[in-house]
């Protein structure tokens, strides 16, 4: 298999990590124009679209003619994902993500967090490596803590009354 250009741009990553299609890595990208992936078999509801020009990180231009839907995890379904045959990684366009999934994305210098707007439930996170944010699935953990509380005390707390 030929070495394909990475999505990291012109410089080689410090960790010399090759991104291949089978890795199915997703990079959170604020500068992309659309969600994109290079693996046709992973896309559902595939359909032909009007030719859409796409600029690759190596400076080459290619035309995308197909798009589909992909389920990244149980909380994240991406629609209108362009199939770009020469792309060796997958891009989540942050603006399209926030619009489609009604979520917000917060970036720090080491990670980013994707949360739903209404319930603030965690959809996923991104870990920063080599100046890129790689999407990571987050495990679903349910935690519950209860104290044995008398029923009258519980109602006092729910109604905002102080309990002495």
* pLDDT > 90? residue 19: no
pTM score above 0.85:
no
d(CA 14, CA 2) in angstroms, rounded, equals 21
**Tokens standing for residue 29:** 């990208």
For residue 3, the model assigns a pLDDT of: 36
Q: How confident is the model at residue 18 (pLDDT cuts 50, 70, 90)?
A: very low
Domain coordinates in residue numbering, the chain: 21-158
Helix, strand or coil for residue 99?
Answer: helix
> For residue 5, which of 13, 140, 153, 116 has the smallest C-alpha distance?
13
* pLDDT > 70? residue 102: yes
Containing H/E element for 79?
A: strand 76-83
How many helices, marked H, and strands, marked E, lie in the chain? Answer: 2, 10
* pLDDT > 60? residue 28: yes
The CATH number of 21-158 is: 2.40.70
């Amino acid at each position: 298999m030929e070495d394909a250009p990475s999505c990291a741009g012109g410089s080689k990553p410090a960790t010399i990590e090759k991104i291949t299609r089978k890795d199915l890595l997703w990079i959170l990208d604020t500068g992309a124009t659309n969600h994109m992936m290079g693996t046709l078999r992973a896309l559902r509801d595939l359909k032909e679209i009007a030719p859409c020009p796409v600029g690759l990180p190596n400076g080459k231009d290619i035309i995308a003619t197909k798009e589909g839907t992909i389920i990244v995890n149980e909380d994240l379904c991406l629609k209108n994902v362009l199939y770009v045959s020469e792309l060796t990684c997958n891009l989540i366009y942050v603006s399209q993500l926030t619009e489609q999934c009604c979520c917000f994305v917060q970036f720090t210098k080491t990670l980013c967090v994707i949360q739903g707007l209404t319930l603030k439930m965690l959809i996923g996170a991104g870990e920063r490596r080599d100046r890129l944010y790689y999407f990571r699935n987050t495990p679903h953990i349910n935690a519950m803590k209860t104290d044995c509380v008398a029923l009258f005390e519980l109602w006092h707390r729910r109604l905002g009354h102080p309990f002495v």
